[in-house]
Structure 1
């Protein structure tokens, strides 16, 4: 049984388990998605994908914050990641189905040719998928051994490592003012996400109990996470921008490996909890919204990388952090802006305009040069 058949089998099991939810909600959502991507394929791909990423990232941050404040049975985050990867693959299959004029035979033939018929091309996606899984575990180690301030500041180096990977792997030319804007962006995001004084004091008290070796391990983990983040993102960009394979087929390939690596993580860290209360324990409507937004986010990120690049994606994500913080202040009342936040927001906005600024060179015509 090849990967497409395995994926189809799990899709059938998933559908039977949550048939009532899928029929009631996801059918309408898929129709809306098909209409959106019909517009998306016609024009303004770069702009639409960037706006969608800002809105999606803002939405998922707000829903996650809301899910933390409500009282409900906790869910296992590793299973949610697996479910979102699986759902992303299903949505991409539907989108490929639309590309094949809604023909089931053409869909099966295309998936078989692109995934099973080209094993080398499919295996390419195992690299970024595996690196993303490693990155998540490195961040968990870093959060365990570092205080919030050190973690936030150090992790923003991923903006610069991504830019360096773009230069060395894609041959991208970055101007001096753009390097300056990237440094401003990293500092600005660090300020925006800087913990409040109360939270920082609690973290520092916890940090004082950590040994020098543990802090060194945490610092090394977050540095490795920035490197894996930059390399994986740019590697995925290179795959998307080379070759005739569509972005949706690439996402199916990525979802297959993402599901596999995710299940391995569930088995290693949460096997006992899954055996006790089940894989879908604690799943409520809010959790399903988080999973859906996470799945859609994977598609939007791929579109941004395809039609823009990883650096532009970093700017869009940074702007969404500011937007979600502002909405949290007015709607959820769980965020109090500090001086660091306002300074960081100004740096992020300034860096965004500075990166897109192009120096206009005045060209003097020959008629102006020669005066009679």
Structure 2
């Protein structure tokens, strides 16, 4: 890959760091969640409680990051001034809320490698939503790379006769994805991921472009907390979720690592969508497969089959093809940006 194509993909060193960090944290999340499961693949802690407390952690971190250079009074003023953006953030907050809760369920039904491969079915849906929301038509090369990426994901579910290793119970469960409730849950998670990612990018780069990114994160996590509390109310488990027994189960080192890693994912995702775009985000998610497959094999003895190798190879091919003609979707210039541009032109 030439340096020219790399510059087109990553306009700055910071954006490349964000890209690598995003992949690392997401791979780590799948591994950590799997490690927090019991032997029967279930959880001994309340997953809604964990998601809610994680959103609270994200809110605290975002607020502290903003207050490094601003006062708490300024934060309150920003929230009141941009209350319309705060309301708009309820859409991605609700979608991410469903996504986060479904992630725990689906990781108990599929091994981490299969889980991430199935999530790549969101690629084409993301491309369509990107065109609709940003009114940008993807080129033929971009669409071909997206379709190849989707093919690579589907290839994982083909059981080649050359596979000599008996299929384990976990893989048998994963290959029956077209049946039952698991298929509905994974498809719902895919839709939530696509719509939330593209709409969040829209808010970061258009409607909320002039709002500090940490303030936008505060909006997201305030709304997410409300959404998670509503889920607890609808389930009738508000009191149960915060019993001493449930809280004690959360404060174990494995669950705390899941929460901290997830909080870091939330922060870095906002920077990813601000500096890069949701199309490249789908490729970053696909590249997670390589590392997830290797780590799942090393840590959990989950075998790597021929279909997994072919799938990963196809994903790499699609990523290379996309890198030859990446999407450009810079943030909408703010009034400050326009003033700086005029000053440069005058000089």
TM-score, normalised via structure 2 length? 0.75
Structure 1 residue 230, shift from structure 2 partner:
1.8
Structure 1 residue 202, shift from structure 2 partner:
5.1
Structure 1 residue 120, shift from structure 2 partner:
1.1
The alignment's C-alpha RMSD in Å is 3.8
Q: Paired residue for 2:34?
A: 65
Among 276, 293, 317, the residue aligned to 1:325: 293
Which structure: larger Rg? 1
Among 242, 247, 258, the residue aligned to 2:224: 258
Q: Tell me, which stretches of 5 or more residues in structure 1 are unaligned? A: 1-41, 101-106, 360-372
State yes or no: 1:96 paired with 2:61: no
Give the conservation status (yes or no) of the 8 Å contact 1:145–1:207.
no
Give the conservation status (yes or no) of the 8 Å contact 1:152–1:193.
no
Deviations 1:65-113 (A, max 9, x none): 322368998221111111111111111111112233xxxxxx2222112
Structure 1 residue 203, shift from structure 2 partner:
3.4
Q: Secondary structure at the match of 1:186?
A: helix
Among 88, 91, 96, the residue aligned to 1:127: 91
Q: 1:194 to 1:75 in 2, by over 3 A?
A: farther
Q: Paired residue for 2:129?
A: 165
Structure 1 residue 183, shift from structure 2 partner:
1.5
CA distance in 2, matches of 1:234, 1:45: 21
Deviations 1:176-235 (A, max 9, x none): 121111112123234457798333785399999x7xxxx5x7756655543333222111
CA distance in 2, matches of 1:69, 1:140: 13
Give the conservation status (yes or no) of the 8 Å contact 1:192–1:344.
yes
CA distance in 1, matches of 2:157, 2:47: 22
Deviations 1:296-343 (A, max 9, x none): 00111111111111111111111112212212323x142210011100
Aligned residue pairs: how many?
A: 305
CA distance in 1, matches of 2:175, 2:23: 35
Give the conservation status (yes or no) of the 8 Å contact 2:120–2:285.
no
Structure 1 residue 149, shift from structure 2 partner:
12
State yes or no: 1:351 paired with 2:315: no
Give the conservation status (yes or no) of the 8 Å contact 1:133–1:261.
yes
State yes or no: 1:290 paired with 2:258: yes
The 5-angstrom pairing of residues 209-288 of structure 1 reads: 215=180, 222-242=186-206, 243-269=209-235, 270-271=237-238, 272=240, 274-275=242-243, 277-288=245-256
Q: Tell me, which stretches of 5 or more residues in structure 2 are unaligned? A: 1-10, 160-165, 327-347
Q: 1:219 to 1:289 in 2, by over 3 A?
A: closer
Q: Paired residue for 2:23?
A: 54
Q: Secondary structure at the match of 1:99?
A: coil
Among 70, 80, 87, the residue aligned to 1:116: 80
